[in-house]
A and B are shown apart, each in its own frame.
Chain A
Amino acid sequence: MMRELYTQIIMDHYRRPRNRGEIEGSDIEEHLLNPLCGDEISVYAVFDGDRVSDVKFTGRGCSISQASASMMTERLMGKSRGEAEAEVESFKAMMVGEKEFPETDDLAALKGVVQYPSRIKCATLSWTAFQNGL
């Protein structure tokens, strides 16, 4: 069971987060708190025209929230505003079971979280922060 939730990919992103850090003078700077547990996340993004040219995050939280944030930054890099918005919507739909996770997608590593309603907020926290900033 635990291997379904804490997959190798999640633990890898948790241990070695990608794009962790602040961006000075970013176009997006959003801070979000998970009211359930007090976990914090900050998301920063810079746009070059319509495209995300840099996106980073900082925060304190569980493995799910931190890994999901790390995966998000990889996913959104280089995307247009419209594409990024669609990615967030698609991810949120997958997290509430309204959409299938594509098998080959890294994000499918978060599939196990869907079975734990109390953890879904952990996974979507950074995505919601980015969306709020858009």
Chain B
Amino acid sequence: MYDVEKVRANFPILERRVGDKKLVYLDNAATSQKPRQVLDALSEHYTEHNANIHRGAHRLAEEATAAYEGAREKVACFLNAADARGLIFTRGTTESINLVAHAWGRKNLREGDEVVLTEAEHHSNLVPWQLAARDTGARLTFVPIRRDGTLDMEEAERLIGPKTRLVAGIHASNVLATINPVERLAELAHEAGALMLVDGAQSAPHLPVNVEELGCDFFACSGHKMLGPTGVGVLWGRPQILEEMDPFLGGGEMIREVHLDHSTWNVLPYKFEAGTMNIAQAVGLGAAVDYLSELGMENVRKHELRLGEYAYRRLSEIEGITIYGPKEGRTGLVSFALPDVHPHDISQLLDEEGIAIRSGHHCTQPLMRRLGTVATARASFYLYNTEAEVDRLVDALVRAREFFGAFA
């Protein structure tokens, strides 16, 4: 039995007030809150074990290295990656995708090659490919979104072909709440002799992820959206593909041998971890995946599914509301618009009631254009949110509407 109150007790920030109102934090797609266990891991690292990793022959360096490498094992296990050598720590999803766009894209893309994306990409899985395409002469094509917010897979089958070198797409949408059939996209990519990159920023925190079953070649996610600290994320890649790639950043640790005129590269994963990494943050991410694994991602998913469905139903009751994305198969977030209150004004009025949501383009400007809008309001839920909080959201929205309506 999933005990949400017991979960909430682990998150000190949920006790705070905004003005005289108890905080209702519904901006989890932007970043999640952190449980005591993660805060303690960070604090313990700095008070007990802080040292630079890998090359120190002293106790602290050994402890810090063990904790950092332990975190790598934990995250690899969390994503069901068979080989932790393919698990590279980065600054976050954005850096993970940029790593692939540079180290794989610049080396392998040629004029006339195609990279297939979707229309619903976060800018982090669009702009790096625009830059790579500009440098290599490759072309970007886009799998369209159907009216209900799901991917047009028939069009995907048509677009993915002999010119395709890479298919890269979001696993779950940060706006539409859709969960894309990335397994099928991976099959199509492989049939065409292309690789598959999955942007898991909005899936890894919320769904059980198994990179082997997804069949992808790269999987990227961010620690801070899954209870971990900011400053650390992950790129998982198939080791044989990573081996053949050029390095991304040059510097300390990523080398084997350095001469004045040339260098050779370290083994995986260190070849892609130049300079001093965010060590404490990686350790914190290890504690975060421990926390998630203990709860069980199946249970987290069930809780969010129930909550998301409840939110969808309650929000649907508001007259005139537009809810974006499909009716079913959603993650736990809801993007919406009210006919007479701009999303910016909605979030301002909700803030007054202690409710944190996000409004704007959510770093998906092309998707906003596709939806015929410039901004939406978005309430995104996580493992500590409750139905009572959904009720507070709905009540506050009704009041916001009345407030604006009074000026009509």
Contact = CB atoms under 8 A, between A and B. Distances in A.
A37 B407 CA distance: 24
Nearest to B359: A37
A27 interface: no
Nearest to B19: A1
B342 A63 contact: yes
B403 interface: yes
A15 B408 contact: yes
A22 interface: no
A44 to B, nearest CB: 19
Contact of A40 (B344, B359, B374): B374
Contacts of A11: 404, 407
A40 B373 CA distance: 11
Q: How large is the interface on A (under 10, 10 to 19, 20 to 34, 35 or more residues)?
A: 20 to 34
B348 A39 contact: no
Interface in A73-99: none
Contacts of A39: 344, 374-375
29 contacts: A1-B352, A2-B348, A2-B349, A2-B352, A2-B403, A6-B345, A6-B403, A6-B404, A8-B407, A15-B407, A36-B360, A37-B343, A37-B359, A37-B360, A37-B361, A37-B374, A37-B375, A38-B360, A38-B365, A38-B374, A39-B344, A39-B375, A60-B374, A61-B344, A62-B342, A62-B343, A62-B345, A63-B344, A119-B344
A45 interface: no
A5 B375 contact: no
Given A11-B404, A37-B360, A61-B344, 19 more contacts: A2-B348, A2-B349, A2-B403, A5-B348, A6-B345, A6-B403, A15-B407, A36-B360, A37-B343, A37-B344, A37-B374, A38-B365, A40-B374, A61-B342, A61-B374, A62-B342, A62-B344, A62-B345, A63-B344
B33 to A, nearest CB: 20
B127 interface: no
A104 to B, nearest CB: 22
A116 B348 contact: yes
Interface residues of B, number: 18
Residue in A1, A63, A64 with the greatest tally of chain B CB atoms within 10 Å: A63
A5 B360 CA distance: 19
Interface of B: 342-345, 348-349, 352, 359-361, 365, 368, 374-375, 403-404, 407-408
A110 interface: no
B361 A38 contact: yes
A62 B337 CA distance: 12
Contacts of B403: 2, 6
Contacts of A46: none
Residue in B344, B348, B359, B407 with the greatest tally of chain A CB atoms within 10 Å: B344
Contacts of A116: 348
Nearest to A40: B374
Contacts of A12: 407
Nearest to B349: A2
B407 A122 contact: no
B366 to A, nearest CB: 11
Contacts of A1: 352
Interface in A42-72: 60-64
Contacts of A36: 360
Give the top 7 A-B pairs by smallest Cβ distance, nearest first: A62-B344, A11-B407, A38-B361, A62-B342, A37-B360, A38-B374, A62-B345
B150 to A, nearest CB: 23
A64 B403 CA distance: 15
B342 to A, nearest CB: 4
Given A12-B407, A15-B407, A38 B368 contact: yes
A5 B400 CA distance: 13
B361 to A, nearest CB: 4
